[in-house]
Amino acid sequence: MSITVFVARDFAQMSEIAAEIVINKTIDILKTKDKAVLGLATGNSPTGLYRHFAKAANDGKFDSGRIRSFNLDEYIGLPGDNIQQRVLHPESYAYFMIQELFSHLDKKFLETRVPYGTLIDQKMLIEELKKHKKDWEFKGADAGKSIVIKAKPKSKYLAWIRKEILEGYARKIKAAGGIDLQIIGVGGRGHVAFHESGIPFKGSKVMLVKLDDNTIANAVADGHFRNRKDSPQYAISMGAQLVYKARTVVLLASGARKTESVTRSLLGDVTPEIPISYGQQYAEQGGELIYVLDHVAAGGLLAKTKELKDWGIVLKNMT
């Protein structure tokens, strides 16, 4: 089992440590392969890492023109009259990646992909789900649920979503040779991307997700959207089953809101209640799992160093 936990003083040091790991891994990948495939996350956690990564690329430490990237997730239902407006909405994850990483690269990636959520018309999706209730089913034990579209739906629109949007994204990743290194953050309840707490691992490669009402309320409260009507109600997301197929997974977490889920993910049971707990099974099967945490998010693990050692987890306190 290969699990390493780095503990940093604060967000800045966490970003530096994570960036050094990702940069060195990318250099190593490009020594053995013509192209490197990176899985990328949005949210606050990787923003510092991305700044260091872009600088290293611009300084010539590696060739960013030999990199393909696949993002974890994207909203459905962003405000906008057409696909272009939705893609360029300030809250789209495509826009986020342009702002935080892609625009800072002197030499652009060979290819960048974000799940095709902006191609879906949310109003039509809702109508088709209501009209064809036998074409799909909810999966999940909590408020956020995946919508599993059955193999031969009567709705042509739902059939298109299944084949082209969900399975199509997974096919693109497979055609690229799989993801070499996946960067993830973690939600307060241990979810990764929009694989929310309670959604089962099996069948969670690329999912259509009905967002938790609390997730929508928080998006409005945090100022991302003016009101509930403007806030997306659905998303497309890579699930834990696909995330943990990458050769290396680097998880970043900072702050007290992450402490419990981070601790339970490594020292508790593997459970859909904490989707990142799937990393335990991933590491046992030969995957390389790396946590980079600030000292607050790592608080629960630092209190149980003996248990970590007993589990064979390497702790590197960099504070």
Q: Which whole number is the average pLDDT over 110-135?
A: 97
Q: How many Cβ atoms from other residues are within 10 Å of residue 81's Cβ?
A: 7
Q: Which whole number is the average pLDDT over 98-103?
A: 98
What pLDDT does residue 224 have? Answer: 83
pTM of the model: 0.95
Q: Which whole number is the average pLDDT over 30-47?
A: 97
Q: Which whole number is the average pLDDT over 197-207?
A: 93
Q: Which whole number is the average pLDDT over 244-249?
A: 98
Cβ atoms of 65 and 108 closer than 8 Å: yes
pLDDT, tens digit, 9 for 90 and up, residues 295-317: 999 999 999 999 999 999 999 99
What pLDDT does residue 41 have? Answer: 98
pLDDT, tens digit, 9 for 90 and up, residues 50-96: 999 999 999 999 999 999 999 999 999 998 888 999 999 999 999 99
**Mean pLDDT estimate for the chain:** 95
pLDDT at 294 over 70: yes
What pLDDT does residue 261 have? Answer: 96
The SS3 of residue 310 is: helix
What pLDDT does residue 145 have? Answer: 93
What pLDDT does residue 1 have? Answer: 61
> Domains, the chain, ranges and CATH?
2-317 (3.40.50.1360)
pLDDT at 218 over 80: no
Q: Which residue has the higher pLDDT, 214 or 234?
A: 234
Q: What is the rounded CA–CA span in Å between residue 247 and residue 286?
A: 9
Contacts of residues 124-127 at CB distance under 8 Å and 24 or more positions apart, as own/partner, are 124/157, 125/76, 125/157, 125/161, 125/234, 126/233
Decide: residue 117, CB within 10 A, 0-12 exposed, 13-18 middle, 19+ buried: buried
% of residues, the chain, pLDDT over 90: 88
DSSP annotation of 271 reads: B
Residue 188, token pair as written in the block: 């307060």
pLDDT, tens digit, 9 for 90 and up, residues 142-195: 878 999 999 999 999 999 999 999 999 999 999 999 999 999 999 888 999 999
